Amino acid sequence: MGTVLVTGATGFVGPFVGAALRARGHRVRAALRRPTPTPGGADEAAVVGEIGPHTDWAGALEGVEAVVHLAARVHVMRERATDPLAAFRQVNALGTEALARQAAVQGVRRLVLVSTIKVNGEATGDTPFREDDPPAPADPYGVSKWEAEQALWRVCAETRLEGAVVRPPLVYGPGVGGNLRRLLRALAGGWPLPFGAIDNQRSLLGAWNLADLLALALAHPAAAGETFLAADGEDLSTPEILRRLGQALGRPARLVRVPPPILRLGGRLVGRGEELDRLCGSLRVDAGKASRMLGWTPPVSVDEGLARTARWYREADLSGRAAPV
């Protein structure tokens, strides 16, 4: 097995990806923005600086067989850039194209790009998202990731580089931040939560399962040139997610039934409209293509994944390492 370059190796998902690749016999090289100790899940590291159209990837790509591209400017709740789309595009679209072109020059066999379900859209109704749905990104982050996908396909069409794209929904696991981290904190504190009346369905993806699919997409011949959606295989409502997390924490969820329109209105009044929309709305994905084409089955169930996440938070909270974000 050859060396795999993992960008974003120090992020939340990076150690899971490194571990999955090493378990399959790969040597993992982490691409770092600045000199730091080699992150968990990696065998070695290479410093590349900030990611953008002018990043020099030559040293990091030397002797590399394949690339898993996790690094990105991610969606943020409180945007500070004066031109958010330009800021996202610089890293996510132009940065991806530069990496892909230099990888092709270096003779890299395959590049797997981690995109986002936001390329499909923000919410679903009765029908889950599929890979062949018309793209409908609704925010600068989603637009930039769609542009990153297109950039990868352009490079693949012009060179011998093989590409594959994975669009995950909400990814969770030990180390998770954002909404789920805040909900874990509230559950652990025994706080009442006003989500008991929400009737929605959300697809989730454990970090273990995403890492497993990325490692498979890196090696499977049928993955070249394809886009895959992924999920744990069981869609849950927001109240059910909270109940399962609470059970694993040993702190049963205290759910109050507040009508979703009131929750959404309250969210907008306090500047958390997007957050409440996600908690109240449905977003389901059909991961059947990965199963049919690659024979992929998520190795960890959503129930076990949520339990592992809750146990991590409980242990980290007791040791003082689970500071809220």
Beta pairing, strands 204-206 & 44-47? unpaired
Maximum alpha-carbon separation in the chain: 57
Q: Which amino acid is at 99?
A: L
Which amino acid does the sequence have at 193? L
Of the candidates 15, 5, 35, the one whose C-alpha atom is nearest the C-alpha of residue 175 is 15
The radius of gyration computed from the CA coordinates of the chain, to the nearest angstrom, equals 20
For residue 247, give the nearest of 184, 322, 317 by alpha carbon.
184
Among residues 12, 141, 195, 228, the one annotated as catalytic is 141
* Annotation marks residue 141 as catalytic: yes
Q: Specify the DSSP element, H or E, that contains 226.
A: strand 226-229
Q: Strands of 59-125 (E only): list them.
A: 64-69, 110-114
The amino acid that residue 49 corresponds to is: G
Helix ranges restricted to H, the chain: 14-23, 58-61, 84-88, 94-105, 140-158, 178-188, 207-219, 238-249, 260-269, 273-280, 288-294, 302-318
Q: How many residues does the chain have?
A: 325
Which residue type, as a one-letter code, is found at position 228?
F
Cα–Cα distances (Å) from 212 to 42, 131, 208, 225, 290, in that order, read 16, 19, 6, 19, 12
261, 199 contact by CB (below 8 A): no
d(CA 254, CA 243): 9
Quick one: which of 55, 49, 66, 153 has its CA closest to 107? 66
Please say whether the beta carbons of 206 and 268 come within 8 A.
no
The residues that are catalytic are 141
